[in-house]
Amino acid sequence: MPADHLALDLAVTIRHDGHGGVADDLAEPAGLTRWVRAHAAELQADLAAGPHTAAGFTADAAALTAAVEVRTAVRALFARAVLPGPPSSADAGRLPSAAQALDRLNAAAALVPVTPQLDWPQDGFPAERRTVAGAPAAADLLAAALARHAIGFLAGPERELLRACPAPRCVRYFVKEHARQEWCKPSCGNRARVARHHAKHRAAAGGDPR
Ligand SMILES: [Zn+2]
């Protein structure tokens, strides 16, 4: 089974805007609609009990608030996971405490209790289906699903490979794919090397880099 990076993908919806600032892909419901549809494969089973399929999901204000609240908890717990390394600088100063984040994440997961069921047709493959009691609101279904994915990630082996990219201006978290990986992507490594080179140059020229 491929690794579940949905929590990571949720966290990095807060990103560098390409101009030295920070952008938020989930600033409006339309942004969440796009994000959920882009992750329809991962969320399909989670949202199957709701009024929309993942591919046809349309976010409203309630869904946005719920998803952003889970994201804030995830980012606070990511900041804890990368210790003693530094967290993403995008929101490091305005995150809830790890204890508050845990409460929020667990409360979101508890919004929709899920029962796993095995479905194995006579001439087909076994598959896990999930049933939920009642008819939960779409916002609750989504928040609970995002929280479950985050719990799986944070309780799993990849948490130890999580890092905040240290390249200038980058605010991304990433999962290291090999031991020597320092940056979230090669372009960040290039930018960091250029910055280092200039800093060394200034030092060699006798100038104070500050
Ligand atoms: Zn980066």
**d(CA 164, ligand 1 centre) in Å:** 8
Determine whether 171 is exposed, middle or buried from the number of CB atoms within 10 Å of its CB (0-12, 13-18, 19+).
Answer: buried
CA 148 to chain centre: 12
Mean pLDDT of 163-168: 94
**d(CA 188, ligand 1 centre) in Å:** 5
Which pLDDT does position 207 carry in this prediction? 55
Identify the residue whose tokens are 């949202």.
47
**d(CA 169, ligand 1 centre) in Å:** 8
**d(CA 167, ligand 1 centre) in Å:** 5
pLDDT category, 206, cuts 50, 70, 90?
low
pLDDT digits (tens, 9 = 90+) for 81-132: 999 999 999 998 999 999 999 999 999 999 999 898 899 999 999 988 888 8
pLDDT digits (tens, 9 = 90+) for 25-38: 999 999 999 999 99
CATH 1.10.3470 describes domain 6-160: no
